[in-house]
Amino acid sequence: MSDLLRAPAELKYAEELDWLESIDTGPKPFTWRLSPKMIRLFVLGSERSDGLDREIAQKWFGDRSIVERAIVTLASDRGLLLIGDPGTGKSWLAELLAAAICRDSTLVVQGTAGTTEDHIKYSWNVSMVIAKGQSRESMIPSPIMTAMEAGAIGRFEELTRSTSDVQDALISILSEKYVSVPELDDDAIVFAKPGFSIIATANSRDRGVNDLSSALKRRFNFVRIPVVTNKKSEAEIVRFRTEELLRRHEIELEVPPNLLDVLLQSFADLRAAAAAARSDDEKLESSLSTAEQIGVLEDAILHSNFFGERALTAHTLAASLVGSLARREPEDLAIINKYLHGVVEPRGKEEGGAWPEFLEGGRSAIAGLS
């Protein structure tokens, strides 16, 4: 895996999945590789009460009931729709579930305005069609059709960004569990095998882009992923992702706990300000999600490693925050500047610690962008 920029979950955790499969004695739906209880354990990590001979690390941080409902849905004949704000871990949860169920999380369709029916059904190898005509050999199955034939999990990212034609085509797949290929005389229908299901994700902020029809909504069980607001849980997520980054880049750099606290508190402050804002112009364009926090910290770590003194500082962290969150000029810069002077400056005078340096770093970054 060292030659892969980002290994899918089934490769990254292959040894762990093999071990879980070897000790799994629970009932498994269809052709699932793991039982529902083991899938939950793989996603949420083990506890002492599980009585395992080894520890299984937590990979997704969220409510236990969300994971259980998702697994139960996939064991039924309905699709699973994970919906929530950007950066809430929808795609990561979908990948982990697919990896645990069928050991293949790569059967993915990315929903965009340019996604067509071919992307969820099939297309043709033009050169083979010219040479030999249309046949199963010259047909190029979509990731969804491949999942159907294998009895595996297909994934559809950003479902509400795809057009109504694509969504309508998905209705027949979820309802009938087959795809008709009228161009073929023989083998003109591709049937789904037991175990096939679809995990789709949708961004709650995309409501109104391409709303789902009532017919398509009935084919999905909706599972809403809330924004993480618990500081302890959020700190665990940020720390987990940061440690992965450090290992991947082979960086030996400490993230001081007080700087992680500064990052968490600054995002909490900015979220509170966004909630109190009277108009969108008074809100940052950023969703201020946990994923955004991870991005800010990763940027600061990499900058410190390559251009700093190989030590993370509050100055660098503040510069990273400004650079990552200031997407509109001058609106976002004005909002961050107001936060620095109205909240960070008084806090720095009262509490000291890393806040005065964080204030200076933020001011310098704004000055450089203004």
Q: Are residues 218 and 237 in the same domain?
A: no
Note whether 216 and 326 are same-domain residues: no
Q: Assess whether pLDDT exceeds 60 at residue 1.
A: no
Q: What's the pTM? A: 0.85
Per-residue tokens: 86: 């950007």
* 220-233 confidence digits (pLDDT tens): 999 999 877 777 88
Domain assignment present for 288: yes
pLDDT band of 316, cuts 50, 70, 90: very high
- pLDDT-derived band at 345, boundaries 50, 70, 90: very high
Asked if pLDDT for residue 208 goes beyond 60, the answer is no
Whether 122 and 95 share a structural domain: yes
> According to the model, what pLDDT value does residue 129 have?
93
Classify 26 as helix, strand or coil.
Answer: coil
Do 217 and 290 fall into the same domain? no
Boundary residue ending a domain (224, 259, 290) = 224
Does residue 209 have a pLDDT over 80? no
> Average of pLDDT values for 135-139?
91
| pLDDT surpassing 70 at residue 147 | yes
What is the C-alpha separation between 234 and 221, in angstroms, rounded? 26
Q: What band does 265 get if pLDDT is binned at 50, 70 and 90?
A: very high
Same domain, residue pair 314 and 199:
no
Is there a single domain that holds both residue 220 and residue 244? no
- Identify the domain containing residue 295 by its residue range: 231-369
Residue 1 belongs to some domain of the structure:
no
The pLDDT of residue 2 is above 70: no
Question: Would you say residue 46 has pLDDT above 70?
Answer: yes
More confident residue, 337 or 239: 337
- Provide the domain count of the chain: 2
What's the pLDDT score for residue 322?
93
323-328 average pLDDT score: 87
Mean pLDDT, rounded, for 120-131:
93
The SS3 call for residue 267 is helix
Q: 169 and 123, same structural domain?
A: yes
What would you report as the CA-atom Rg of the chain, rounded to the nearest whole angstrom? 24
261 or 212: whose pLDDT is higher?
A: 261
Q: Among residues 224, 254, 280, which one ends one of the domains?
A: 224
How many CB atoms sit inside 10 A of residue 264's CB?
Answer: 17
Q: Does any domain span residue 283?
A: yes
Tell me, what's the pLDDT at 207? 60
Q: Which two tokens stand for residue 84?
A: 């929530």
Task: Decide if 4 is inside a domain.
Answer: no
Which contiguous run of DSSP H or E holds residue 155? strand 153-157
CATH of the domain at 115: 3.40.50.300
On the question of pLDDT at 359 being above 90, the answer is yes
**CB-side neighbour CA atoms (13 Å) of 82:** 30
| CA distances for 304 relative to 201, 282, 313, angstroms | 35, 31, 8
| pLDDT single digits (tens) 166-178 | 888 899 899 999 9
Whether residues 275 and 203 share a domain: the answer is no
Please check whether residue 131 lies inside any domain of the structure.
yes
Distance, CA of 160 to CA of 167 (rounded, Å): 8
**Pairing relation of β-strands 220-225 and 189-191?**
unpaired
In a domain, 338, yes or no: yes
Domain-located, residue 306 = yes
Is 261 in the same domain as 139? no
* Mean pLDDT value across the chain: 90
Average pLDDT rounded to a whole number, residues 14-18: 96
Return the higher-pLDDT residue of 37 and 88: 37
The mean pLDDT of 42-47, rounded to a whole number, is 94
Residues 192 and 305 in one domain: no
Mean pLDDT of 134-162: 94
Q: Which of 57-71, 252-266, 353-367 has the lowest mean pLDDT?
A: 252-266
Whether 183 and 266 share a structural domain: no
Across 183-200, average pLDDT: 92
pLDDT at 66 over 60: yes
Which residues lie across from 225 on neighbouring strands?
84
In 10 A of CB 29, how many CB atoms?
Answer: 16
Handedness of CA 35, 1, 311, 286 (dihedral sign): negative
My answer on whether 173 and 236 are in the same domain is: no
Query: For residues 81 and 271, what is the distance between their CA atoms, to the nearest angstrom?
Result: 26
Q: Cα–chain-centroid distance for residue 96? A: 10
**Is position 3 within any domain?**
no
**Is-cis flag, bond preceding 330, omega within 30?**
yes
Q: Which of 194, 224, 254 is the last residue of a domain?
A: 224
For 321, the enclosing helix (H) or strand (E) is: helix 314-325
In sequence order, the β-bridge partners of residue 220 are 79
